[in-house]
Amino acid sequence: MTFVPVLHAEWLKIRTVRSLPGALFALFAATTAFSAIAGVSDTSDPESDPLFMALSGVAPGQIAAIAFGAMAVSAEYHNGALRVSLAAVPRRGRWFAAKVTAIAVTTLAVSLLTAPAALLAARAGLGPAASGLTTGEQIRGVVGCAVYLTLMALLAAGLTALLRSAVATLSVLIPFVVVVSFVIGDAAGTVVDFLPDRAGQVVLHQTYDGTPGPWTGLAVTALWTAAALLAGAWSLGRRDA
């Protein structure tokens, strides 16, 4: 079977597995709602970053993106579904590439709708506080937000292929992005700036002081994601279905 029919089959799975559209809706709703809430919060602090505040809904939104990536892969490990998939597509690398592509394209499409919606919702509340944002900064924030959410979904997909469990992946990634970033992140030094979530979120800031810049930060996240996907592909090729 060639790649295009395999990709189409994976897209149909995303549409028909009930929890997956729900995760994508949660991605949109959580990111937009929390950004809107941030927009009407106290913005009198002169040190606040209006772009990051407008897109701060990415913090809960990334949890939905991680859940989507994890569940899209873990569904294959229920009730022998992976055996059926590999019987139809014996070339495991082709199947996994189609699965990853379907996850990436779907997440990116939803995220490209989510990011501008979140920005507009927050700007309505920020008012004059957001007047200093340039068009270029807003475009960078929107595109960067969409790419970041997509990378986090793919990171979860790779780890799930490695661990063969959405529960295990969520148990690792969600505490990681919550605890490491928000509890010990500021106290742990420069090394934390190169963790996947911290590095990728630099693109959401109007100004930034850390070592990675907006696009180099996303590149760091992309490297983490590539490593997870390679590990997942290796596990898929070496272990029984």
DSSP collapsed to 3 states, the chain: CCHHHHHHHHHHHHHHCCHHHHHHHHHHHHHHHHHHHHHCCCCCCCCCCHHHHHCCCHHHHHHHHHHHHHHHHHHHHCCCHHHHHHHHCCCHHHHHHHHHHHHHHHHHHHHHHHHHHHHHHHHHHHHHHHCCCCHHHHHHHHHHHHHHHHHHHHHHHHHHHHHCCHHHHHHHHHHHHHHHHHHHHHHCCHHHHHCHHHHHHHHHCCCCCCCCCHHHHHHHHHHHHHHHHHHHHHHHHHCCC
Backbone angles phi, psi at 176, to 5 degrees: -65, -50
Distance CA 177, CA 29 (A): 19
CB of 145 closer than 8 Å to CB of 52: no
Distance CA 141, CA 147 (A): 10
Q: What pTM value is reported for the model?
A: 0.93
CB of 218 closer than 8 Å to CB of 144: yes
pLDDT confidence of residue 47? 60
pLDDT confidence of residue 44? 44
Q: Which of 62, 73, 169, 174 is nearest to 110 (CA)?
A: 62
pLDDT confidence of residue 154? 98
Tokens encoding 27: 């991605």
Low-confidence ranges of the chain (pLDDT < 70): 42-47, 182, 184-189, 240-241
Distance CA 136, CA 131 (A): 13
Q: Cβ atoms within 10 A of the Cβ of 148, count? A: 29
CB of 222 closer than 8 Å to CB of 239: no
CB of 200 closer than 8 Å to CB of 146: no
> Residue 177 burial (CB < 10 Å; 0-12/13-18/19+)?
buried
Domain boundaries, position 186: 3-238
